[in-house]
Chain A
Amino acid sequence: SQQGEEDPQALSIQEGENATMNCSYKTSINNLQWYRQNSGRGLVHLILIRSNEREKHSGRLRVTLDTSKKSSSLLITASRAADTASYFCATSGGGGADGLTFGKGTHLIIQP
């Protein structure tokens, strides 16, 4: 079963605009991660935010985490055509390495 739900399921924007994706989850977590997947290939890790953090930045990415609402958002600024992909949030409940629980993903299309 899926732990999280990404919203929206699909998003189409113009190149240069900002893209925001949201993720909600159900149980308490240790950390939340965002991954990108291009055309059914392997997942690429983007960013990890721990349960005691509220915001994190990495290049054009900004992630927020609200544990009281069990939600996270991923903002991609100044989008590029190469950002076209599916984006997944994944939660981890235990310490160390354990299985991740993924949402269904947001399919992002950047139109040139």
Chain B
Amino acid sequence: ETGVTQSPTHLIKTRGQQVTLRCSSQSGHNTVSWYQQALGQGPQFIFQYYREEENGRGNFPPRFSGLQFPNYSSELNVNALELDDSALYLCASSLRAPGGETQYFGPGTRLLVL
């Protein structure tokens, strides 16, 4: 157990809808990263938040947005859902400090877009 939790575990949406996924970081961690993992692929970096500000972004369009709260919990929002957004969404928390490169992953939210 990493201490990172995500909700919901599964979600079904239809194309064009909006979705919010939630993540609670491991205690003491100040950084959260979000990843998208399509079936049979490795996770792809969406973005990272540090002290409530976006601090790095992968190759994802602006309809993918996020928030980090003062208690270091986080949300991933996806607008105008497309079929290709169907994937496992993983959040990972870490500590921005020397030696803090390890990211601790939650169990993921599996999103299906119909």
Known A-B contacts A42-B2, A42-B90; A100 and B105 likewise in contact (beta carbons under 8 Å): no
**Most chain A CB neighbours (cut-off 10 Å) among B44, B102, B106, B107:** B102
Does A70 interact with chain B (Cβ within 8 Å)? no
State how many residues of chain A have any CB contact under 8 Å with chain B: 26
B62 within 8 A of A: no
Give Cα A96–Cα B31 distance, bound, in whole angstroms: 10
B45-A40 in contact (CB<8A) = no
Among the 9-residue stretches B68-76, B77-85, B91-99, the one with 4 or more Cβ atoms under 8 Å from chain A is B91-99
Using known A-B contacts A33-B102, A42-B2, determine if residue A101 contacts B96 with beta carbons closer than 8 Å. Answer: no
In the complex the two chains form, is B45's CB within 8 Å of A100's CB?
yes
Separation of A43 and B93 alpha carbons in the complex (Å): 12
The stretch among A56-64, A75-83, A102-110 that forms the contact with chain B is: A102-110
Task: List the B side residues contacting A48 at CB < 8 Å.
Answer: 101-102
In the bound complex, do residue B56 and residue A42 qualify as a contact, i.e. CB atoms below 8 Å apart? no
Asked if B88 is at the interface (CB within 8 A of a chain A CB), the reply is: yes
Which of chain B's residues have a CB closer than 8 A to the CB of A104? 40-42
Per a CB cutoff under 8 Å, which of B50, B90, B97, B110 touches A43? B90
Q: Contacts A96-B96, A96-B97, A97-B48 given: A105-B42 contact, CB under 8 Å?
A: yes
Interface status of B58 (Cβ within 8 A of chain A) = yes
Would you call B86 an interface residue if the criterion is a C-beta within 8 Å of the partner chain's C-beta atoms?
no
Q: How far is the CA of A40 from the CA of B86 in the complex (A)?
A: 13
Determine if A33 and B101 form an interchain contact, defined as CB atoms under 8 angstroms apart: yes
Residue of A nearest to B2 (CB): A42
Q: Closest CB of chain B to A94's CB: distance in Å? A: 8
Query: Is A68 part of the binding interface, using a Cβ–Cβ cutoff of 8 Å?
Result: no
Closest 3 CB pairs of A and B: A102-B42, A99-B45, A97-B94
